[in-house]
Amino acid sequence: MAGLVDPFLSPALGDALAQWLAQLQALEGAAVNTIEAYRRDVTRYLKFLSAHRGGAEGVAAVARTTHPDLRAWMSEERSRGLSPRSLARALSAVKSFTAWAADRTGTDATTVLSARGPKHRRTLPRPLSEEGAAEVLTDIGSDAREDWIAARDTAIATLLYGLGLRISEALSLTGADHPLPETLRITGKGGKTRPVPVIPAAAEAVADYARQCPYDLTPGEPLFRGARGGPVNPRLIQAGMERARLRLGLPATATPHALRHSFATHLLSAGGDLRAIQDLLGHASLSTTQAYTAVDAARLMEVYEKAHPRA
């Protein structure tokens, strides 16, 4: 982890940043992409402070950052085109690092920890209709060069919509997962494992692909194979969705991830419990699940009335 630290930081800050990132990865199970984003955001922040104050910064000094310093940093980030959402993420990373540094130096970091990020409108996902999702599952493999590739793409799309998997989770399955059991153990973001029930349609789609696949689906190798036998590039599935979307006249938001959104929304619309759906999706926060389930106000009121009947 230390090798990833920017060489332009002072040795003390470089060591502190490396230790903090290592702790996030080892003790909190942060995903690799999260570690990289935090490293990038905090490095930019620390380099800004050094330039802004005219000299190398120590760990304790960083924890004592003032409001004017923070405002200047946020202004700098916005001026280079950072969106409010990205800046809010960067500030979250800065706060986490500052709290860690303050704890180790006995410094009061209240100023940084109480700072508020920019307001941003949360963009809600746009799930497909039930008819649209069904059409995608039927169409996504229609232009494949070989029948087994068509079956592969159909199986992957069925896992996204039928089980609510992320595309990375579907592509991480190995030959050991075939035939699909009644319940899959899926390792998601942050290394967290969750049980996901397998619906018959998904098991059948994967079995159909496995029967046609020309490669041996050995336990230690990817379940889903590319044309030359290697792992499937996610971009291939995204491209397949793009072509299906154009053929079916679906909106540009009809992406592989939209199938996962659709799984959550349609399940809740059918009467599913929001917390149960949260567990199936592997969300740490219920608010994230609520954003996934784009259900109209009338449906939400119906759910509320059933949970809280009037006397």
Identify whether 52 is a catalytic site residue: no
Residue 128: DSSP 8-state: P
Identify whether 189 is a catalytic site residue: yes
Contact 133, 259 (CB under 8 A): yes
pLDDT at 297: 45
> For residues 289 and 264, what is the distance between their CA atoms, to the nearest angstrom?
8
Identify whether 44 is a catalytic site residue: no
Contact 128, 254 (CB under 8 A): yes
Burial 265-301 (b: 16+ CB within 10 A, else e): bbbbbeebebeebbebbbbeeeeebbbbbbbeeeeee
Contact 212, 147 (CB under 8 A): yes
Instruction: Spot the catalytic one: 152, 245, 260, 261.
Output: 260
Q: Per the omega criterion (within 30 degrees of 0), is the bond before 219 cis?
A: no
- Domains in the chain, please, with CATH? 2-113 (1.10.150.130), 130-258 (1.10.443.10)
Per residue of the chain (311 residues), give pLDDT as tens.
Answer: 434 555 567 777 888 888 888 888 776 666 777 888 888 898 888 888 888 877 656 787 777 788 888 889 888 888 888 888 788 888 888 888 888 888 888 888 788 888 876 665 555 557 888 999 999 999 999 989 999 999 999 999 999 999 999 999 999 999 999 999 999 999 887 778 899 999 999 999 999 999 999 999 999 899 999 999 999 999 999 999 999 999 999 888 888 988 988 888 888 878 777 788 888 888 777 766 766 665 544 454 554 555 555 54
pLDDT at 2: 39
pTM value? Answer: 0.60
Instruction: Spot the catalytic one: 64, 152, 166, 266.
Output: 166
Instruction: Spot the catalytic one: 52, 85, 189, 299.
Output: 189
Identify whether 38 is a catalytic site residue: no
Strand partners, 101: none
Instruction: Spot the catalytic one: 52, 247, 257, 299.
Output: 257
Q: Closest Cα to residue 135, out of 292, 272, 259, 237?
A: 259
> For residues 164 and 142, what is the distance between their CA atoms, to the nearest angstrom?
23
Instruction: Spot the catalytic one: 64, 225, 245, 283.
Output: 283
Both tokens of 252, joined, read: 């540009």
